[in-house]
Amino acid sequence: MDFEPLGLATDLVILTVRDGRLQVLLIRRGIPPYQGRWALPGGFVRPDEDLETTARRELAEETGLSAERIHLEQVATYGAPDRDPRGRVVSVAYLALVPDLPAPVAGSDAASASWVDATDVLDDAGRLAFDHHRILTDGVERARAKLEYSPLATAFCPPEFTISELRGVYEAVWGLPLDPRNFHRKVTKTPDFVEPAGGTTTRDGGRPAQLFHRGAATTLHPPMTRG
């Protein structure tokens, strides 16, 4: 076996919903190449380290999130020969969906990590370093698609949430408003999407809302419909 010189990295599309908007965690690069530009968090895979292990380690380092219960999935691999000016670097992109918890960018080792509105970044193809705009585009599209046929929207929510909070996730990720009454009917009638948790809350104002937690479903039948 002879190996060509090659670097293997993972990059992370870390999404959350804050203030009703889809946001992505970006870092400002402190060193060349692309010094001073925004980029997705990422790093090189260590010898004998599994790809997902690398991704979880990066996630913990960048966000301070203990990472275990965070949803993390592989999106795609980017390997254009010229994608990194330092040499051949192939990057495996992962998508992480995190709830809007306190301690957002605390404990991060990247000097300047911050949450940025995803739509702003998506609208400006030149804002990110490397091919990160494409990676972000693919990651966000993956998230949007998965909300249709999986109960993954709950990954953006705390363990117990209201139907309206769940609707807020859909509206933020899809970028369009949904009818509260039809949404409520759809979610509660889709088998095993959500289960009543027992209590109620008034944290969103108005009439007290029932709390739910995620159900056992892995795919939604029938799926939620976008547009």
Partner DNA sequence: CTCCTTGTTGTCATTATGACGATAAGGGGT
Partner DNA sequence: ACCCCTTATCGTCATAATGACAACAAGGAG
- Any idea what the Cα angle at residue 86 is, between residues 82 and 88, rounded to 5°? 50
- Residue number with CB closer to DNA (84 or 165): 165
Q: How far apart are CA 89 and CA 85, in angstroms?
A: 9
Helix (H, G, I), strand (E, B) or coil at 195: strand
Residues 63 and 105 sit within 8 Å (Cβ to Cβ):
yes
Segment contacting a second copy (CB under 8 A): 31-39, 84-92, 195-203, 206-214? 84-92
Question: What, of a second copy, DNA, none, does residue 87 touch, CB below 5 to 8 Å by kind?
Answer: a second copy
Judged by CB under 7 A, does residue 219 bind DNA? no
The CA R_g of the chain, rounded to the nearest whole Å, is 19
Of residues 13, 176, 167, the one with CA closest to residue 96: 13
Using CB under 8 A, pick the residue from 35, 36, 49, 69 that binds a second copy: 49
Question: At its nearest, how many Å lie between a second copy and the CB of residue 87?
Answer: 5
By rule CB under 7 A, what string of x and - marks binding of each residue 187-216 to DNA?
-xx----------x-x-xxxxxxx------
90 is a site residue for a second copy (CB under 8 A): yes
Token pair, residue 85, equals 């000016």
| Binding stretches for a second copy (CB under 8 A) | 1, 3-8, 45-51, 74, 76-77, 79-81, 86-88, 90, 92, 223
